[in-house]
């Protein structure tokens, strides 16, 4: 099965209004990370880190990532595309999410459809 790679400029991004209910989880640098999501789209996601994560930089591929939004869990890989330092000393990361299986892609599409329905109200 081939997966269409979305283009960030064309695909709508949805701001996560309840960051306490949406997170990305991964292992990196001998540590497990759980970070709040900032936004989400079919093309990828973004998250913010409030401390230095050694080696987390543009071009890094993270494997076995879990994206959690409320009770929905999606697994896959992540490719860091952008790292931007903020004025408040945090770093904002933008990444492409590659769902592990078709079921994960279907979950992502379902989550996005639900978010879009909420925004349409």
pLDDT digits (tens, 9 = 90+) for 11-42: 788 888 888 899 999 999 899 999 999 999 98
pLDDT band of residue 1 (cuts 50, 70, 90) is very low
Rounded (5°) CA angle 58-21-10: 50
For the chain, the average pLDDT equals 88
Give the domains, in start order, of the chain with CATH numbers: 14-120 (2.40.10.220)
Dist CA 41 CA 111 (whole Å)? 10
CA distance 82 to 15: 17
What is the rounded CA–CA span in Å between residue 4 and residue 65?
A: 20
The predicted-structure confidence for 109-120, as pLDDT tens digits, reads as follows 999 998 888 777
Phi-psi region of 19 (alpha: psi -120 to 50; beta: other; left: phi over 0): alpha
Q: Are 94 and 56 in contact (CB under 8 A)?
A: no
In this model, does residue 8 exceed pLDDT 50? no
pLDDT digits (tens, 9 = 90+) for 82-99: 999 888 888 999 999 999
Beta strands in the chain (DSSP E): 14-15, 22-28, 31-40, 45-49, 61-69, 72-85, 91-99
What secondary structure does DSSP assign to 9-28, as a single string?
TTSPPEE-S-GGGEEEEEEE
């Amino acid at each position: 099965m081939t997966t269409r790679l979305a283009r960030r400029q064309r695909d709508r991004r949805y701001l996560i209004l309840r960051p306490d209910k949406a997170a990305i989880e991964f292992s990196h640098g001998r540590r497990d990370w759980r970070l709040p999501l900032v936004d989400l789209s079919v093309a990828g996601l973004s998250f913010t880190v409030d401390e230095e994560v050694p080696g987390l930089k543009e071009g890094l591929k993270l494997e076995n990532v879990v994206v959690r939004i409320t009770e929905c869990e999606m697994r896959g890989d992540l490719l860091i595309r952008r790292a931007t330092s903020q004025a408040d000393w945090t770093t904002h990361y933008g990444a492409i999410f590659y769902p592990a299986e078709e079921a994960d892609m279907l979950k992502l599409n379902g989550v996005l459809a639900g978010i879009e329905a909420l925004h349409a109200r």
